[in-house]
Amino acid sequence: MAESKSNVLIIGATGYIGPYLVRASVKLGHPTFILVRSPTPSDPAKAHLIKSFQDSGITVLKGDVDDRESLLAALRQVDVVISSVSGGALASQVKILEAAKETGTIKRFIPSEFGNDVDKLEIDFKILEGVFQTKRDVRREIEKSGIPYTFVIPGGYAGYFVANLANDNVSAPPRDKVTIWGDGTTKAILNTEEDIATYAIKSVDDPRAANKYLHIRPKENILSQGEVVALWEKKIGHTLEKTLVSKEELKKIIEETPFPANALHAIRYSIFIKGDQTSFQLNDKDVKATELYPDVHYTTVSAYLDQFV
């Protein structure tokens, strides 16, 4: 007899990582729900996305994190809550937590993480202080709540840092010249959005991932920017002209660049110069997704680049 799958509610389903989580939840057989302010938003792209969710059997619930009654009504229909809200809404996750405690039926909460492990890095730039500290604060509230949780730590998105070789204003890997942050040798962790979502959903019913930090770090995807560029050069058969931006130069760029571009540069500094994704050792609170779920056939950085050749 097949084991029943938890009902999963995804909050932030129309954001960046949200649609991947929704699709992964459906693909892995979970009854899937999303919470939206309006099932027919004025934004045509979001309206089309929500319609596609409905067509694939997803239950669309009208509600808002700031509307306690609608939030409670949604939580009472599910077993697991996954939040993928964006930076400005991170603090509102405490309201989700409070509502989950009131229902008493939520068996796993996965908050909006999906990036660097904020407990294992120092914040270098004011532009990142608010978001990173809010993530830390939300973690502490979750840990105190008694509700089982999983913090999903995937490192960097392939769509942000591989599809463009971590360069600006290009939607595909450049074929002539490339900017290298630092000396190009600092290791980063680079995963596809689909794989990140798959591992997150795999963890929702897994007791081994309860109250753990789930790190997604396939060995083939722990690469420096220089190594990613070298993979691309081999695929296209020629060498790119490289401009190296030093640590000091990138600091100056961050100081002089307006928001939101300065935030992206600060994240590049964190990943490609400081090595915040790979400079720490895992401890007994950490588990590796590839070890828990060896059945997942993840996409390597090399294979990801093949689509652009």
Looking at the annotation, which residues are catalytic?
Answer: 135
- Separation CA 74–CA 135 (nearest Å): 23
- Separation CA 190–CA 188 (nearest Å): 6
Side-chain-facing half-sphere of 254: CA atoms under 13 Å: 21
Strands 241-245 and 108-110: unpaired
SS (H, E, C) the chain: CCCCCCCEEEECCCCCCHHHHHHHHHHCCCCEEEEECCCCCCCHHHHHHHHHHHHCCCEEEECCCCCHHHHHHHHCCCCEEEECCCHHHHHHHHHHHHHHHHHCCCCEEECCCCCCCHHHCCCCCHHHHHHHHHHHHHHHHHHHHCCCEEEEECCEEHHHHCCCCCCCCCCCCCCCEEEEECCCCCEEEEECHHHHHHHHHHCCCCHHHCCEEEECCCHHHEEEHHHHHHHHHHHHCCCCEEEEECHHHHHHHHHHCCCCHHHHHHHHHHHHHHCCCCCCCCCCCEEEHHHHCCCCCCCCHHHHHHCCC
